[in-house]
Structure 1
Amino acid sequence: MSLEEKHTLLASLSGRAERVFELQSAMTARRGLGPDNGGDGEQSKAEYLEAWLRSFGIDDIEHVDAADDRVPSRRRPNLIVRIPGRSSRTVWILGHLDVVPAGEESLWHSDPWVVTRDKDDADLIYGRGVEDNQQAVVCGCLLAAAIKETGVTPDFGLGLILVSDEETGNAYGIQHLFRERPDFVSPDDIVLVPDSGSPDGGFIEIAEKGILWLRVDIEGCQCHASRPDDGRNALTAAAAMILGTKAVEEEFTARNELFAPDRSTFTPTKHEPNVPNVNTMPGKEVFYIDCRVLPCYSLEEVLIAFRALADKVAKQYGVSVTVEKYMEEPAAAPTSEDSAVVTGLRRAVKEVLGKECRCGGIGGSTVAVNFRERGIPAAVWALIFENCHSPNEAARLSFAVKEAQVFASMLFND
């Protein structure tokens, strides 16, 4: 390993703010909304990125696309990009191509689909996807281009994994990729998922809670609101179920200081429309509960607890209540703090940012769990505000540059 080569690569990444802005702007304009979120998929974004990478002479790009008739291209793109190093080991950077909808656009200060600089801080940009998860894609592309531009051959190879469908379950993304190419990552490779972190770079995520999304269907009897005794109000029963989630949460008393919050959480979220007019009492209600469950509990235990609540509400209000799994992702064993990915990341963050890192867990979901459940250690780290899914989603151009420098440092065997 040549220290000169390492320093050459890190130095080449400095001053790349405009390249970050170029990539962020192009990706945001191409949206990447999956069909479950009312979009045409990620194909346009993937085509742009592939052409951009090939313009630097990066030709080892493998497609592992998933068929999906719901989008115009009839496929959901998944790309594996490789640049060889001196050894057979690879440092993988994973980014997802899809984003979430903008939500209520009146809450945005600018067009969510046009990357905009802050008027007082040129390093700060706004736009849907600039943090989640385009910054991860950008830092990987920056590093790949820099390797080609400098002609440096690092000790480890660089691999980029660009997947679809992360925001709506991963079936057409990382899960499809593992089904089709189960051995594309070697056991001694290093896997990085820049999809959670902190603004100062001092947090490495090594564990995630289990996730269970529940759909609650309530059937009562619709009637005129002036004669409520003629029916059974499904909305009133739904309200009882929603308020009852707090009691269910109190059944799961375990605490784990690795996570913040340190408990399992059960949050009612989406509610589907019921009746269109005020003077009709609804006979049907559908809503959802987002459960984030500490690893010490099984997701089945949570489902049983909510079904017991459903039986109680059904009896009390004379309705039928059905609770079904909408999506589930059991917790995987945490990545060890002594693993190569964590120790290497800690060293690189200290070298580039001068920051000591702490390790912890999150309640959110990243694709790292798909590696951990296969016994492959993965670390989640990024320089981000953690404002994903919010109006006026923001990122710093310098964050992507510094991330790329941290990952560049990890390509060398110190």
Structure 2
Amino acid sequence: MPKDMDALLRGLAGREDRVVALQSALTACPALGPDNGGDGEEAKAALITQWLEACGVTDILRIDAPDARVPSGQRPNLVARIPGKEKRTLWLFGHMDVVPPGDLAAWQSDPWQVRREGDLLFGRGVEDNQQAITSMLLLAEELHQRHVVPQLSLGLVFMADEETGSAYGLEYLLKTAPELFSKNDLYIVPDAGARRGDVIEVAEKGQLWLKIRTTGVQCHASTPHKGRNAFLAGADMALACHNGLRAAFGDTNTLFNPPTSTFVPGKHEANVPNINTVPGSDVFYVDCRLLPQVDPQAVLDKVRALASEVEERHGVQIEVSVVQQQAASSVAETSPVVIALGAAVARVYGVEARTLGIGGATVAAQLRQRDLAAAVWSCLASTCHQPNESSSITATIKDAQVFTHILMNPAHV
């Protein structure tokens, strides 16, 4: 093993306290986007910038996406670069925004204060996506402290807005500064994975989010015959989507888990504030995750056909609109980044990595759509968006060691 890489690996192995410190500071800085009732990522971006500057990173580019909904008027995106012996760059991506904690009663402690139990840290964002951010910062700090010039150059991207579509995050960055990224570079998104670290995500289902608005006639609940219950019709429509779409698009693909397309009625907007009123308007949303062979337009056409049937049954009007759409994406299992990850994972975690497709959407999709071969990998327990979200200190360090192997030993790529 080369001397510099050995020093980096040994140095990282002793950074447990630093992991706790970084995660504690990040968690105490809630970065909720405006769609989730927050002020954005400005404070967290300032914190990360301070850490990068403190460990000697001088090449820090900030690209702000204008957003009048947040106090600062902007959503920050940071690009930090550490030059290596080669221009070819290993890019790592972490998103700064988090989701709301949800039901506080379901948490065993304050979600915005890190709680430690042995190797585990608990708090909102510690896994999604602060484990990645912490691993990235650990690697930058260790390179600086050891005065090591890596073989490959290192690019660290800290993004806004991943949780609500990335329009102000990586999508904005790729549109305004595409010259940053070369097809010859390596791209890793540490935002999904498995508990043993043995899964490399190489494909993502297509994403189609639908808003379904039902319009009926409001009336007093004691005389329901005088109205048209939009909530009741909306519930019928939700069941029609759940059952009808699964029946119509039942193809399977064993690369993915689950191996089918999924159609999930989820978010529901408030209708009337009182019990004794039949609502005349009702809105809910459907999250569709589509296998690559499923045509999103065919799904939309089917939803509208189901809506016509529900309209006739209930005497209401139903409007179906697209909230967000993203095409399915994939990277070849033989691509250099997948091969490099497999070799590094074997050395650090002692397991043979397997490739898999997922239904969740990561920013790897935006990279792949621009012909940038991105793989998604991390060692995660997959507690994101749950109460008592957790992250392993050991996995955070070992993830940084995996990146170190690739950064310092490009012979594998």
Shorter-chain TM-score: which interval? over 0.9
Pairwise mapping of residues 233-252 of structure 1 onto structure 2 (< 5 A)?
A: 233-245=229-241, 246-252=243-249
Q: TM-score, normalised by structure 2?
A: 0.98
1:29 maps to 2:19: no
Matches of 1:236 and 1:98 in 2, distance apart? 36
Pairwise mapping of residues 289-300 of structure 1 onto structure 2 (< 5 A)?
A: 289-300=286-297
Pairwise mapping of residues 128-143 of structure 1 onto structure 2 (< 5 A)?
A: 128-143=124-139
Aligned-residue CA RMSD in angstroms? Answer: 0.8
Residue 264 of structure 2: aligned partner: 267
Matches of 1:146 and 1:56 in 2, distance apart? 9
Q: CA deviation at 1:123?
A: 1.2
Residue 196 of structure 1: aligned partner: 192
Matches of 2:371 and 2:55 in 1, distance apart? 34
1:407 maps to 2:407: no
Q: CA deviation at 1:3?
A: 1.0
Does 236-245 or 102-111 show the bigger shift?
Answer: 236-245
Matches of 2:270 and 2:386 in 1, distance apart? 23
Residue 375 of structure 2: aligned partner: 379
Q: Which runs of 5+ in 1 are unaligned?
A: none
Residue 387 of structure 2: aligned partner: 391
Q: CA deviation at 1:233?
A: 0.9
Q: Which runs of 5+ in 2 are unaligned?
A: none
Q: CA deviation at 1:183?
A: 2.2
1:160 maps to 2:156: yes
> Which of 320, 345, 352 pairs up with 2:348?
352
Matches of 1:276 and 1:4 in 2, distance apart? 67
Q: Which amino acid aligns with 2:85?
A: R
| Secondary structure, counterpart of 2:161 in structure 1 | coil
Q: TM-score, normalised by structure 1?
A: 0.98
Residue 111 of structure 1: aligned partner: 110
Q: CA deviation at 1:315?
A: 1.1
Matches of 2:403 and 2:282 in 1, distance apart? 48
Contact 1:307 1:323 survives alignment (8 Å): yes
Residue 314 of structure 2: aligned partner: 317
Matches of 1:166 and 1:413 in 2, distance apart? 29
Residue 257 of structure 1: aligned partner: 254
Pairwise mapping of residues 163-242 of structure 1 onto structure 2 (< 5 A)?
A: 163-242=159-238
Q: Which amino acid aligns with 1:129?
A: G
Does 4-13 or 208-217 show the bigger shift?
Answer: 4-13
Residue 79 of structure 1: aligned partner: 78
Residue 343 of structure 1: aligned partner: 339
Matches of 2:323 and 2:175 in 1, distance apart? 22
Q: Which amino acid aligns with 2:74?
A: R
| Secondary structure, counterpart of 2:333 in structure 1 | coil
| Secondary structure, counterpart of 2:121 in structure 1 | strand
Q: Which amino acid aligns with 2:386?
A: S
* 1:88-143 deviation line (CA, Å, top 9, x unaligned): 1000110000000000101000000000112xxx2111000000001111101100
| Secondary structure, counterpart of 2:32 in structure 1 | coil
| Secondary structure, counterpart of 1:232 in structure 2 | coil
* 1:52-72 deviation line (CA, Å, top 9, x unaligned): 110111110001111111111
| Secondary structure, counterpart of 1:183 in structure 2 | helix
Contact 1:298 1:330 survives alignment (8 Å): no
* 1:286-341 deviation line (CA, Å, top 9, x unaligned): 00000000010121111111011011101111000011001111112x11111010
Q: CA deviation at 1:51?
A: 0.4
Q: CA deviation at 1:244?
A: 0.6
Q: Which amino acid aligns with 1:260?
A: N
Residue 145 of structure 1: aligned partner: 141
Contact 1:237 1:319 survives alignment (8 Å): yes
Q: CA deviation at 1:153?
A: 1.3
Matches of 1:228 and 1:385 in 2, distance apart? 49
Residue 63 of structure 1: aligned partner: 62
Q: Structure 1 stretches (4+) deviating beyond 6 angstroms?
A: none
Does 226-235 or 401-410 show the bigger shift?
Answer: 226-235
1:363 maps to 2:362: no
The share of aligned pairs that are identical, in percent, is 48
Residue 100 of structure 2: aligned partner: 101
Q: Which amino acid aligns with 2:354?
A: R
Q: Which amino acid aligns with 1:38?
A: G
Matches of 2:195 and 2:14 in 1, distance apart? 19
Q: Which amino acid aligns with 1:33?
A: L
Matches of 1:301 and 1:94 in 2, distance apart? 33
Matches of 1:400 and 1:261 in 2, distance apart? 27
Pairwise mapping of residues 113-128 of structure 1 onto structure 2 (< 5 A)?
A: 113-118=112-117, 122-128=118-124
Residue 7 of structure 2: aligned partner: 8
Matches of 2:148 and 2:245 in 1, distance apart? 56
Matches of 2:320 and 2:307 in 1, distance apart? 7
Matches of 1:307 and 1:315 in 2, distance apart? 13
